Amino acid sequence: MSKNFDVIVIGAGPGGYIAAIRAAQLGFSVACIDEWKNAAGGPAPGGTCTNVGCIPSKALLQSSEHYEHANKHFADHGISVSGLKMDSAKMIARKDAVVKQNNDGILYLFKKNKVSFFHGRGSFVKPVEGGYELAVTGAQAETLTGKQIIVATGSSARALPGVPFDEENVLSNDGALRIGGVPKKLGLIGSGVIGLEMGSVWRRLGAEVTVLEAMPTFLGAVDEQIAKEARKAFDKQGLKVELGVKVGEIKSDKKGVSVAYTNAKGEAQALEVDKLIVSIGRVPNTTGLNAEAVGLKLDDRGAIVVDDECRTSLPGVWAVGDVVRGPMLAHKAEEEGVAVAERIAGQHGHVDFNLVPWVIYTSPEIAWVGKTEQQLKADGVKYKAGTFPFLANGRARALGDTTGMVKMLADAATDEILGVHVVGPMASELIAEACVAMAFRASSEDIARICHAHPSLSESTKEAALAVDKRTLNF
Ligand code: FAD
Ligand code: NAI
């Protein structure tokens, strides 16, 4: 017999589980279906983000950063360490424990908010009077009927054509997060977000890392000045990035992986590595949804076609997160999930795509929100730019990390902040002030007039705002 709900969410990643909780808060009866299994075959809600994405990658970035500090930077503070060792199995076990805490946290939140959770694959069966019938298959077989359906099935790593992931030698983000020991030589294809974050983890632990990138520019979507500063820091650390390459044949055997490629000068090259991470973007998860049964429209990338408000081609069916257009980021998925639940309730949920921040959790961290200088130029917008280097910030000096800067871009006529770009320590935290300022349509003068705690890294944001008006106080 079918179980009936007001709202059924397929997928319990950040888009889905947050949509389910918000819909329940708004008084709907809600079910959430997710098929992710933990090592014991049990439910592991949280999607890519919790299981093989944001959370585990940040756990490994933290562990490897501690190791690098102990190895290279403690001595500057007068701390000597002898017999420093890296137990990578323990590091992985800690990461797994952090993931489990998050899985359990979501199951707890479902209970607390009275969301009915179904462990298995959700797929469309047919439209029914006033809604849709869905099948749950796998661990738990059920038939559910929902008046409104939110699809939040996320994305998976894209493989190179003809080079499937074996997760032993050729790794997706999944295998990259559970490499047994530190590889002597590690190769990465793609110097995007995963390439830089995962490359940093294993470089810090002692691997010789080479990243092969097809594009001729480094981090093309990032403000050029910021990307240049980051590249300088990565070069200094020994993270080797080759731009403008064309990857050819990849052979993998027990000894490792060999990658044939052509470099930017057109010369044939070979890279021999113990492990290869392929991080060339992600594809939306729509296979298994049985979208054809109900005529749900997909685009040529396999993403679900939605309008600005996440409405699909079918009445009462919505889609959010990585499975639709836009940046593949957990917080973007969450915002869309909340907005859709509110729209179902007749409210006016809203996501401002210009204010979705980006963070790359390398060292230095890179974070930005709004427009880059090159975008403003291309759009013909007249702007003023202000930068402030962490070198001149007292807190950064005390921390022992003065890499990078804060850069602010403001409209030349109105002074409204159009973009903020940070490369340096705690950029991930500093960017929040910029998001708040831009959400309130602040001017650079507004930030310049706000009292910031001393000594703090955030004083660099204030100084960058002062720099827009060419009146920094500490530089
Ligand atoms: P997902 O998180 O992919 O969740 C989808 C869920 O749906 C999964 O559990 C899947 O099993 C389930 N599912 C799919 N099909 C079905 C079906 N038919 N039936 C039932 N269940 C189904 N983003 C950030 O913002 N910050 C970061 O630091 C960050 N780090 C990342 C690091 C890595 C290594 C990776 C790979 C990604 C990272 N991301 C990060 C991106 C982030 O993980 C995604 O943007 C986010 O998880 C998307 O959320 P989602 O809910 O759309 O989909
Ligand atoms: P990406 O889109 O960030 O980077 C992929 C890179 O691979 C690009 O630079 C691209 O030019 C390059 N590339 C593509 N095909 C290639 C080829 N054949 N040979 C060589 N290079 C090639 O994708 P990535 O790193 O896989 O990450 C996927 C997504 O996951 C990100 O876009 C982001 O949305 C999300 N993510 C977010 C993180 C964060 O917010 N901190 C961390 C990790 C992932």
Judge contact between 448 and 462, C-beta under 8 A. Answer: yes
CB-based contacts of 169, cutoff 8 Å, min separation 6: 252, 253, 256, 257, 274, 275, 276
Overall number of domains in the chain: 3
Residue 359 lies in a domain: no
What span, in angstroms and rounded, lies between the C-alpha atoms of 423 and 368? 9
Percentage of residues of the chain with pLDDT beyond 90? 98
Which tokens is 276 given?
A: 């290869």
> What is the structure's pLDDT at 241?
97
DSSP string computed for 369-419? EE--HHHHHHTT--EEEEEEEGGG-HHHHHHT----EEEEEEETTT-BEEE
Residue 319 lies in a domain: yes
What span, in angstroms and rounded, lies between the C-alpha atoms of 432 and 369? 9
Percentage of residues of the chain with pLDDT beyond 70? 100
Say whether both 150 and 291 belong to one domain: yes
State mean pLDDT over 5-32: 98
Q: What is the CA radius of gyration of the chain?
A: 24
Residue 331 lies in a domain: yes
Q: Which of 37, 54, 294 to mutate to test the pocket of ligand 1 (most atoms within 8 A of CB)?
A: 54
Confidence of residue 140 (pLDDT cuts 50, 70, 90): confident
Say whether both 303 and 441 belong to one domain: no
Say whether both 24 and 101 belong to one domain: yes
Looking at all shown ligands, the one closest to residue 242's CA atom is: 2
Say whether both 118 and 23 belong to one domain: yes
Which tokens is 10 given?
A: 């397929």
Say whether both 287 and 269 belong to one domain: no
Confidence of residue 349 (pLDDT cuts 50, 70, 90): very high
Q: Which of 279, 359, 366, 429 to mutate to test the pocket of ligand 2 (most atoms within 8 A of CB)?
A: 279
Judge contact between 324 and 45, C-beta under 8 A. Answer: no
Q: Give yes or no for residue 1 having a pLDDT over 90.
A: no
Residue 163 lies in a domain: no
> What is the structure's pLDDT at 246?
98
- Indicate the residue type of 279: S
> DSSP state, 70?
I
Sheet with strand 275-278: strands edge to edge: 170-171, 275-278, 185-189, 208-212, 240-242
Confidence of residue 222 (pLDDT cuts 50, 70, 90): very high
**CB neighbourhood size of 225 (10 A):** 17
Say whether both 133 and 32 belong to one domain: yes
Residue 473 lies in a domain: no
What span, in angstroms and rounded, lies between the C-alpha atoms of 123 and 304? 14
Residue with CA nearest ligand 2 atom 40 = 359
State mean pLDDT over 302-326: 97
> What is the structure's pLDDT at 68?
97
State mean pLDDT over 298-304: 95
CA 437 to chain centre: 22
Helices 54-68 and 88-112 pack at an angle, to 10 degrees, of: 140
Residue with CA nearest ligand 2 atom 38 = 193
What span, in angstroms and rounded, lies between the C-alpha atoms of 320 and 325? 9
Q: Which residue has the higher pLDDT, 324 or 138?
A: 324
**CB neighbourhood size of 246 (10 A):** 13
Residue keyed to tokens 């057109």: 266
- Give the Å distance between the CA of 436 and the centre of ligand 1: 25
Judge contact between 350 and 336, C-beta under 8 A. Answer: no
Q: Give yes or no for residue 139 having a pLDDT over 80.
A: no
Closest atom, ligand 2, to C-alpha of 247: 19
* 3-class DSSP state of 133: strand
Say whether both 23 and 107 belong to one domain: yes
Say whether both 249 and 317 belong to one domain: no
- The residues carrying an active-site annotation are 454
- Give the Å distance between the CA of 85 and the centre of ligand 2: 31
Residue 164 lies in a domain: no
Residue 165 lies in a domain: no
Judge contact between 276 and 249, C-beta under 8 A. Answer: no
What span, in angstroms and rounded, lies between the C-alpha atoms of 341 and 115? 13
Q: Which residues line ligand 1 (CB under 6 A)?
A: 10-16, 33-36, 47-49, 53-54, 57, 121-123, 152-155, 173, 194, 285, 288-289, 321-323, 328-331, 333, 361
CA 158 to chain centre: 15
- Indicate the residue type of 233: A
Q: Which of 353, 375, 398 is the last residue of a domain?
A: 353
Q: What is the pLDDT of residues 415-425, one digit of tens each?
A: 999 999 999 99
What span, in angstroms and rounded, lies between the C-alpha atoms of 423 and 196? 14
Q: Which of 353, 383, 400 is the last residue of a domain?
A: 353
Read off φ and ψ for residue 371, nearest 5 degrees: -85, 150
Say whether both 237 and 290 belong to one domain: no
State mean pLDDT over 89-110: 98
CA 92 to chain centre: 20
> What is the structure's pLDDT at 183?
97
Residue 474 lies in a domain: no
Q: What is the pLDDT of residues 355-407, one digit of tens each?
A: 999 999 999 999 999 999 999 999 999 999 999 999 999 999 999 999 999 99
Which tokens is 202 given?
A: 């294993």
Range of the domain at 255: 170-280
Say whether both 93 and 153 belong to one domain: yes
State mean pLDDT over 336-342: 98
Q: What is the pLDDT of residues 248-268, one digit of tens each?
A: 999 999 999 999 999 999 999
* CATH number of the domain residue 199 falls in: 3.50.50.60
Judge contact between 184 and 207, C-beta under 8 A. Answer: yes
* CATH number of the domain residue 432 falls in: 3.30.390.30
* CA distances (Å), origin 382, targets 227, 301, 386, 406, 415: 22, 36, 14, 20, 10
Q: What is the pLDDT of residues 46-99, one digit of tens each?
A: 999 999 999 999 999 999 999 999 999 999 999 999 999 999 999 999 999 999
Residue among 146, 114, 110, 154 nearest 128 (CA): 146
Q: Which of 353, 376, 396 is the last residue of a domain?
A: 353
Say whether both 295 and 149 belong to one domain: yes
Which tokens is 159 given?
A: 């493989």
State mean pLDDT over 205-209: 97
Say whether both 432 and 448 belong to one domain: yes
